[in-house]
Structure 1
Amino acid sequence: MSGLASTPHPLVIAVVGSGPRGISVLERIAVRATAEAAEAGRSPRPVRVLFIDATEIGAGRVWRTDQDDWFTMNTVISQVTMYSGGPDGGPDRPGAGPSLGEWIAHRHETAGEPALGPDDYAPRVRYGQYLAHVHRTIAEHLPSHVELVPVTGRVTALRTGPDDRYLLSLDTAPHLLEADRVVLATGHPFNAPDAFERTMLDFTERTPGTHYLCGDSAADMALDEDTVPPGSAVGIKGLGLSFYDVMLSLTVGRGGTFEQAAEADGGGELRYVPSGREPHIVAGSRSGLPIPARGRNQKRPDFSHRARFLTRDALVAARQKRGGSGQLDFAQDVLPLLQQEIDHVFYVTHVRNSAGPEAAETFSDAHAELLLSGEDPGPLRAAAGLGDVPPVDLDALARPFGDTRFASPEEFRERLLAVMDEDLAQAELGTLDGPLKSALDVLRDIRNVVRLAVDYGGLLPASHTGFFHGRFLPVNALLSAGPPMARVEQLRALVRQGIVEVAGPGTRFEADDAAGAFRVASPQVKGSARHVQSLIDARIPTPDLLRDTSPLTRQLVAEGMVRPYVIEGPEGEEHATGGLEVTTSPFHVVDAAGRIRPDLYALGIPTEHTRWFTQVGSSRPGVNTLFYQDADAIAVDALRPLGTGADRAAAAPAIIPAQQANSRPGQTGSAASPGLGAAVGARRGEGA
């Protein structure tokens, strides 16, 4: 239970940030502390957990429970859980509780809340409510020796006190807290403007009537009618997931509705009924393609893709072949193996659809053997009737317009709608039965192995910055993490009705002083130039330790308590990633002098670039995910007895170089910490 009376010398753990990552650590602390008490047969040393958030305790900022319901998750509800174990017939509690889908079904049955099927997508606000439920059940079922103290406020500084405890400064009462261990789980950052953003902001300062909004969660953007007046033209930079949130805020959020047209009126297609308060939306991006739809889900929550080519052993072999630092070239060493995984699933699915599961299994074994041996699979594919079916071309899918020049916006619009129609048709086939969407789902299913290649300086610096970040990640983001089909159908309706206009490939956004407005245009679409009074960046800011405007981050950097992670190459070349440097599990922070801080941890988005794809916001039911393992490792380490920090620091290197000695799979920078390779070996899947 929560609310234990204060004791003289409890172990105090501060968790800064109460979104999914913070809750995951709290849940595992509760599970581990309960088990510890049961094993001891008596109450162990007292533990106090300070659970700190500036927005909403138990949900955080992005998932807060007062946001509008048109902001939607992009993972089906059956594949999302925050409990590290499933229901067991007892009360919801740490280690045993429902998935998001099960919780929503129960709320429908008991409270009459809207029902959703297991393969539906929930509004973000409902996930926030689920997180609040998880937090509440943790608080209600803590063992008697654990006290949970919620603290609403922003941590502005973190320093060590005279007794080596941490002192946390807050912008609200009690203004100063003490803790023995601190977990930084602070989520999405607010960055200082980059060069483009400064240019746009400067333009708005000297140009009355114009507005520029930097990238952020759409729920926190000023998308009101003062900023974007009805009937005005507004530009949107970026066509990813956040674009859909902004689009809906400016349409449904203005009172418009979508309805299915009668067969006689439009073949049953979706149409938008405007309220009259909408702006005209002009959107664009590098590709000119709105992020495609995720395939109709056909996978069980515990589905696990069996990798045949991009495996841990294959990466180990590639590192050994490279010699020296063992760092990989993503384009040469990793992408070909990933492409084989994608093509294999693509062709096997085709055979299953045409000839049945037995034929598909036979084909799968023969096809895999040919690929693994380096032989030509062409004759086998031809014998299966697939000789004219080309492999999956990721670049062509992500850049379907290529260098094509369009004679008019109308010509581009028709091509765009045709691409969207085809994408929706492929998505409707599903993530198991649809050859294309099942193949693209491999990008999501195999993230853990890609992490083995990339994390902790696993790539050569030039490969990390040039190919992985510059070329692969934009394609991967576009093809692996799409919105629900319904969102793409809504966009298609808005494009058809002229409410949304996509400028075209290579969209340029400029400040036009002569026109007193922003200019949006595609160099590949003749006549596409449009002037807009407001410009919205619909891209979530990339974590960058040195651009983060958080007072806490700035203080930690200025005083050398943290440092950016730097990848060093075999010839001494360096790349500063912008990620906060941490050791491998359990993710101790590394300070500016290269010293490991055994009582300070960082998890999730702040460590992006040191580790890859840290924005995962849930675990998956029935799967031992990395999300769960990360939280558990920190919980175990944070609960170790007081007075052992110095011993652990002595056991680890006193100073480590920017290119960590523990950056290779299977190694660790902290004594008694499980190696990354061992941890991944135990995994069967990952949430997204």
Structure 2
Amino acid sequence: MSSADDPVSHGPRIAIIGMGPRGISVLERLALRADDHHGSGPEVFAIDAVQVGCGRIWRTDQQPWFTMNTVAGQVTMYSGEPDGGPDRAGAGPSVAQWLARSPDPEQASIGPDGYAPRVVYGHYLRHVYRSVVDHLPDGMVVRPVTARVTTMAPLPDGGFALTLSDRSEPLVVDRVVLATGHPVSRPGASELALADFAATRPGLTYLSGDSAADLPLDLIAPGTPVGVIGMGLGFYDILLSLTVGRGGVFRRDVAGAMRYVASGREPLIFAGSRSGMPILARGANQKRPDHVHQPVVFTTDAVREAKARAGAAGLDFTGQIMPLIQKEVDHVYLTTLVRSRQGDAVAARFADRHARVLRHGGPKAALMAEHGLAPDAGLDLERLARPFGGERFTHPAAFRATLLDLMAKDIDEARRGNVDGPVKAALDVLRDIRNTIRVAVDFGGLTVRSHRDDFLGWYVPMNALLSAGPPVERVEQLLALIEVGVVTVVGPQVRYECDPARDTFVVSSVDVTDSRTEVAALVDARIPQPDLRRDTSQLYEDLVARGLVTQFVERDPVTGEVFETGGVDVTPAPFALLDRHGEEVPGAHALGLPTEHTRWFTQVGSSRPGMRTLFLRDADAIAERLLIPFPVLAPR
């Protein structure tokens, strides 16, 4: 029998801050675990500053031309497939299955191999949220809160007092999950110089630091020459906003080629990047949603063995990891190439023999010659990502001709598919092996120099350009815009500078003669990388000031070199916050993008049907910890 002075057990009060995909995934797993939990159910405060159930990036008031870059059949937020009952935690449809139910013929026709608009995914996320909340286990309560959390103060007896933008009284909770997603960051030195230059000249515009859906692109008048920095996924969003968003129309001609019909309201777009190559198209999907790549040499066991040999010094990415990745990519490329020329049976025999050579060594020249392959045949990832490296162009027209040829070839390769096309099948491997790469790099698995220079400085941007691209239709649209003169790709090694003598921005390529172009607006299409040192949110500024959050810092035990990553420091799963002293913050967890660079590729926004993905396992680990019973000394 307990008294008023005794600890009293009750279900925890939990705040999930950020209700995009990561927050929803935690809620979904909480509902399932609470159903099996013998005790009082949790009271969950589902908090989001923009829209509970989908978050800012996937909110349901954005334009339809912003598209996902994963096919609808490979995206789910449920940790189990439909079972004939109502959609609920643990049992629900993939995006493709959900769209197939839609009364909207256009949405229903997207299919499992099509790409849904981001706004449609936002509606799907809202459906997932509602289906979880509508079927909660007994005793569990979810309270949606549309507000911004500005401070998080630890309480003497445990728990936290959260200051919310919509109320004067703090919200007191026992446990907190930070699932805050994409940040808005302070500009770096070069971006700040461009912004300051524009701010003092009324005729100039500079936009940066956010997704296209949140940039005031209407400030750019029709006909204005505008430079766009970066040609990744964000570039395509800006491109569509300034063309289709201005009334332009894409149509296919009788031969099937993409053509653009201008509205006359478009600006003149001058784009560029370090590589000079727009991000490559995804191969047409030919894989089942539950497809799993079976690695030949780049296995988790191989990585763990390499880590054991490296010891405390850490792995060298270029020397120890990249060769395994290259072999894995080449194996798929060569096998697919043989299949395309000689059929399935011959390809299967080649794959078996080639795999043995890769695993155990030995000569392979005879094997390659037998199948009409050069001894050193493979896929040059660096050349694909940097096709103009070391090349000089005497005139913009010469660069344009070369670029259009490369883009046309990329479109052809994408149409061949990610199973039948050797190039796109091989590049898809870079997506399939992300989890294995994480085993190597997460939580300081690499040496400081290798993590900073080899991995973040070289591999990550190359990997993004080669494997994280848009649907092929987007590259076709860009090609059409270049052909009609709405878009000019300036070249590789592009510089964005201020000309105070002429009160203008200047865009030019180091490698293209006569490429200098004056523009009245600059738009930075690069999505800001999470960095705790530059995060502008009041919440993270408060957490840093209190010492509840600190960045993950790598220290080389051999050289003493230090690398400040900018990622929120957490434990391995369940990702408890580590304070400035390296101690766990009881009851506080961080998941997803805030922890980028402590872990790698945390921007994943879904699981895959029928698979226990890392996305799902991350959420489940936190849900399990959140429900561990604990005594509370005072009622909340």
- Structure 2 counterparts to residues 130-149 of structure 1, below 5 A: 130-149=124-143
Amino acid at match of 2:631: G
Q: Name the residue aligned to 1:129.
A: 123
* Displacement after TM superposition at 1:409 (Å): 1.0
Residue 631 of structure 2 corresponds to residue 639 of structure 1: no
Q: Measured at CA, do residues 496 and 113 of structure 1 come closer, stay the same or move farther in structure 2, by a change above 3 Å?
A: closer
* Displacement after TM superposition at 1:289 (Å): 0.5
Q: Name the residue aligned to 2:93.
A: 98
How many residue pairs align between the two structures? 625
Q: Measured at CA, do residues 644 and 313 of structure 1 come closer, stay the same or move farther in structure 2, by a change above 3 Å?
A: farther
Residue 613 of structure 2 corresponds to residue 625 of structure 1: yes
Q: Name the residue aligned to 1:314.
A: 302
* Displacement after TM superposition at 1:112 (Å): 7.7
**2: CA distance, partners of 1:163 / 1:101:** 47
Stretch deviating more after TM superposition (399-408 or 311-320): 311-320
Q: Measured at CA, do residues 644 and 401 of structure 1 come closer, stay the same or move farther in structure 2, by a change above 3 Å?
A: farther
**Per-residue CA shift, 1:59-79, capped at 9, x if unaligned?**
100000000000000000000
Q: Name the residue aligned to 1:3.
A: none
- Is this contact kept in 2: 1:371–1:377, CA < 8 A? no
What residue ranges of structure 1 are gaps of 5+ in the alignment?
1-6, 646-688
Q: Name the residue aligned to 1:61.
A: 56
- Structure 2 counterparts to residues 141-540 of structure 1, below 5 A: 141-173=135-167, 175-224=169-218, 227-262=219-254, 267-323=255-311, 325-387=312-374, 390-540=377-527
Amino acid at match of 1:48: E
Classify the secondary structure of the residue corresponding to 1:598: strand
Q: Measured at CA, do residues 370 and 289 of structure 1 come closer, stay the same or move farther in structure 2, by a change above 3 Å?
A: same
Q: TM-score, normalised by structure 2?
A: 0.96
Amino acid at match of 2:465: L
**Per-residue CA shift, 1:275-334, capped at 9, x if unaligned?**
1100000000000000010001001100000111111221122123324x0510000000
**2: CA distance, partners of 1:370 / 1:113:** 47
Q: Measured at CA, do residues 551 and 103 of structure 1 come closer, stay the same or move farther in structure 2, by a change above 3 Å?
A: same
**2: CA distance, partners of 1:423 / 1:476:** 16
**1: CA distance, partners of 2:97 / 2:143:** 29
Classify the secondary structure of the residue corresponding to 1:549: coil
- Is this contact kept in 2: 1:441–1:480, CA < 8 A? yes
Amino acid at match of 1:302: D
Match of 1:120 among 114, 119, 122: 114
Q: Measured at CA, do residues 512 and 73 of structure 1 come closer, stay the same or move farther in structure 2, by a change above 3 Å?
A: same
Classify the secondary structure of the residue corresponding to 2:81: coil
* Displacement after TM superposition at 1:644 (Å): 9.4
**Per-residue CA shift, 1:442-463, capped at 9, x if unaligned?**
0000000000000000000000
What residue ranges of structure 2 are gaps of 5+ in the alignment?
1-7
Residue 578 of structure 2 corresponds to residue 577 of structure 1: no
Q: Measured at CA, do residues 611 and 113 of structure 1 come closer, stay the same or move farther in structure 2, by a change above 3 Å?
A: closer
Q: Which has the higher contact order (CA 8 A, sep 6+)?
A: 2
Residue 30 of structure 2 corresponds to residue 29 of structure 1: yes
Q: TM-score, normalised by structure 1?
A: 0.89
Classify the secondary structure of the residue corresponding to 2:101: helix
**Per-residue CA shift, 1:183-232, capped at 9, x if unaligned?**
000001111111011101110121111111113111000010xx210011
Q: Measured at CA, do residues 384 and 108 of structure 1 come closer, stay the same or move farther in structure 2, by a change above 3 Å?
A: farther
* Displacement after TM superposition at 1:569 (Å): 1.3
- Is this contact kept in 2: 1:379–1:387, CA < 8 A? no
Amino acid at match of 1:169: T
- Is this contact kept in 1: 2:431–2:467, CA < 8 A? yes
- Is this contact kept in 2: 1:345–1:438, CA < 8 A? yes
**1: CA distance, partners of 2:423 / 2:366:** 21
Match of 2:576 among 567, 577, 588: 588
**2: CA distance, partners of 1:351 / 1:113:** 38
**1: CA distance, partners of 2:463 / 2:504:** 34
Q: Measured at CA, do residues 388 and 316 of structure 1 come closer, stay the same or move farther in structure 2, by a change above 3 Å?
A: closer
Q: Measured at CA, do residues 395 and 433 of structure 1 come closer, stay the same or move farther in structure 2, by a change above 3 Å?
A: same
- Is this contact kept in 2: 1:215–1:536, CA < 8 A? no
* Displacement after TM superposition at 1:389 (Å): 7.3
- Is this contact kept in 2: 1:154–1:170, CA < 8 A? yes
**Per-residue CA shift, 1:361-391, capped at 9, x if unaligned?**
2111111111222323232111111127731
Give me the identity figure in percent. 53
- Is this contact kept in 1: 2:307–2:440, CA < 8 A? no
**1: CA distance, partners of 2:490 / 2:361:** 43
- Is this contact kept in 2: 1:34–1:143, CA < 8 A? yes
**2: CA distance, partners of 1:160 / 1:439:** 49
Stretch deviating more after TM superposition (387-396 or 620-629): 387-396
Q: Name the residue aligned to 2:4.
A: none
Q: Name the residue aligned to 1:650.
A: none
Classify the secondary structure of the residue corresponding to 2:217: coil
Classify the secondary structure of the residue corresponding to 2:44: strand
* Displacement after TM superposition at 1:260 (Å): 1.2
Q: Measured at CA, do residues 516 and 114 of structure 1 come closer, stay the same or move farther in structure 2, by a change above 3 Å?
A: farther
